[in-house]
A and B are shown apart, each in its own frame.
Chain A
């Protein structure tokens, strides 16, 4: 018996056909990966299989789960009894996919109660919830916790338990680990793999991350602009891609590059360069919580320093202290030989600038690109006539100046954000997760732009990221942070090949998306 069979599935939206008709099969107990960049139609395809397309979108085609047809393209009422019981959808972000004001146990129990059509008795409910939690390797008392009391990885486990509580046969997982820290990603995927084998589930795994797909999925569909451009066994597609788009994706992927050993920044001779900025013994507390414990860091002229750590490691707070956006509670920050007092007042725009993670929210949507750049140039006493030169510097055509941010792609927006940061001619550029929100191919281009700018302008970069695979593509020196402390730092190539700290070893393994070394990820 075939598990899931999809025939002629297509999605049309207000702007025309978003997903061209395609067929697929997911036999019981196997995983199909649907790969593509943002806007490729992979999420729309997934949502059409559970009847949750956004307003204005319509699905056609047929799909069967264990020979029972799904009501593809029909109204909400037809999906009643199908969602949860035959098909379940696991969302990307466990921080938002659970209700913040309800207990985890209740959220798991609702799925079961919806399937049964009645409320369960208290004892029966407690036992059922405990069994579901045990399946995702969580202790019973998690049922009493609210989501904010759990880590991201634990929340995603709760979400998996809730999604599977009514025993569906098809699980659609939409980027289930993208929002998680490196040490949790592999664990969650391996857990899914184990549950899948146990239950003989069909899984559709949607991802943009080729490294994650390797070894954890059986077949791959590669989607580009709503068209399946390549399909086949995962190992074959990754080792011998036929379509140029698949090849481009693989080449741009920092993880794949890391495995090949090719994704390292060209060595730049930094010996004897003077120190541009240094932070010594930085301490920062928020209320009772200390987020930085006497952190030291230094950046030489023209050096690219990567700071790696998980969310909550203090890497962003450190960057914000250096930029003056937060005031450190202890320690000193020197810049070009002078000590800077905490806060923005003691800093000038030509010392350092920052590029944030999300180019969608860091640019004012009401202003044209010309106005955005002219404003930044005016701060530095430069005229608006330099706007075309700024655009050229970041590799954008001059015509773009008359547009607004909404008319640009994510990569173009981030280029504008970089140009804006460069307007006062800073000597240090701080990039806080500046490529994390971008697709892999765009990510690679922005990284190339940044290292080009370093050569061209001689600026230094403080590059902050949660992903070691990205950092290794650009940084000369790497600083590994955990729980507000620097656990390891040194020459990038050396730290990567001979990590001294357990935690660094874990991150290195995660950067190639291989299984975590046992025990290294535990607190």
Chain B
């Protein structure tokens, strides 16, 4: 099962790399002009640059050169930054990963209990407030939420920094609070809804009635239902996490964070194909790994599935 899965993922990655390469090739703009900027140019420099980056070769050859490099472990060089791609990404990956982790942790820690309480006291005030918040969180665009938070917590109440990634450690953490909340709001909204629905369905289930009929305490009954609801909630959480990994560009731009999102944005504008390729593949791999982890989590959560695929419980 795992082998088929890895092969499938590799095939997707290959197709993806071809599509992205072709789109970047066809996009308007000229790499040489971007590179030279306002400096004076003469035909010799242009020819030299074109030769150095194989820009004179047919597009298929260019792609194959990139693929060959990839297979030998060389992701190429960022033309814009004049450093190896691995270095360009390595310098930025920490802040994006931290931001995603903070956003995900915040959304799970708030949304799952809120969803559970909303379901247990369906129609109560927690439910109504949770419902209103999740409608708000789902419908508000990321950049608008980001700007609003900036106004409130960095401008009117200057308790948090306005932009940048900070100087590392606690300072960076402080800088990541607002972007984290911005991302977490949308995610949390989906998770509250998912948890509430899953929990409501479990609470209606016969086994919950039977548990009550045998005198089990309300707390035990609720834990039982939560254990049953965990399966759909994990699915939802993994989907949301992949969505989060893809959606960091807006938050990073709003808060001027030097992360992968802004790197991707700049590289696309510059036609810096090597970086764009590497970043897209990185995101795709991360999404594939998350999906795999979610599937492994099902095995842990659902004994029926364990038996069906023949894993010993």
List A residues at the B interface (Cβ < 8 Å).
50, 52, 76, 80-85, 88-89, 91, 93, 96-102, 110-111, 114-115, 146, 148-149, 159, 162-163, 165-166
Contacts and interface: CB of A to CB of B under 8 A. Distances in A.
Interface string B295-310: 0000001111001000
Contact of B210 (A98, A100, A101): A98
Contacts of B313: 146
B171 interface: no
A110 B209 CA distance: 14
A111 B301 contact: no
Given A97-B207, A110-B220, A146-B313, 13 more contacts: A52-B213, A82-B215, A83-B215, A85-B215, A99-B211, A101-B227, A101-B303, A114-B214, A114-B215, A114-B220, A115-B215, A163-B214, A166-B215
B227 A99 contact: yes
Contact of B214 (A76, A96, A100, A110): A110
Contacts of B214: 83-84, 88, 110-111, 114, 162-163, 165-166
Contacts of B68: none
B209 A93 contact: no
Interface of B: 205-207, 209-218, 220, 224, 227-228, 301-304, 307, 313
Contacts of B220: 110, 114
Contacts of A96: 205-207
Which of A76, A115, A148 gathers the greatest number of chain B CB atoms within 10 Å?
A: A148
A146 B305 CA distance: 11
Contacts of B216: 84, 110-111, 114
Nearest to A92: B206
B307 A50 contact: no
B120 to A, nearest CB: 13
Nearest to A81: B215
Nearest to B212: A52
Given A83-B215, A114-B220, A91 B303 contact: no
Contacts of A163: 210, 213-214
B307 A97 contact: no
A98 B215 contact: no
B304 A93 contact: no
A269 B307 CA distance: 50
A511 to B, nearest CB: 28
A101 B210 CA distance: 15
Nearest to A146: B303
B215 A100 contact: no
26 contacts: A52-B213, A82-B215, A83-B215, A85-B215, A91-B206, A91-B209, A91-B213, A96-B205, A96-B207, A97-B206, A97-B210, A101-B228, A101-B302, A101-B303, A102-B224, A102-B227, A110-B211, A110-B214, A111-B215, A114-B215, A114-B216, A114-B220, A146-B303, A159-B210, A163-B214, A166-B214
A146 B218 CA distance: 23
Nearest to B202: A99
Contacts of B211: 99, 110
Q: Which 8 A-B pairs have the closest CB atoms?
A: A84-B215, A89-B213, A96-B206, A83-B215, A146-B303, A111-B214, A97-B210, A84-B214
A100 B302 CA distance: 8
B304 A146 contact: yes
A111 B224 CA distance: 13
Given A100-B304, A148-B307, A50 B213 contact: yes
A408 B211 CA distance: 34
A404 B223 CA distance: 40
A410 B76 CA distance: 69
Contacts of B228: 99-101
Given A83-B212, A101-B227, A159-B210, A76 B303 contact: no
A89 B210 contact: yes
A510 to B, nearest CB: 25
A115 B303 CA distance: 28
B207 A98 contact: yes
Nearest to A110: B216
A149 B213 contact: no
A501 B97 CA distance: 68
Contacts of A148: 303-304, 307
Which of B216, B301, B304 gathers the greatest number of chain A CB atoms within 10 Å?
A: B216
A100 B205 CA distance: 11
Contact of B307 (A82, A84, A149): A149
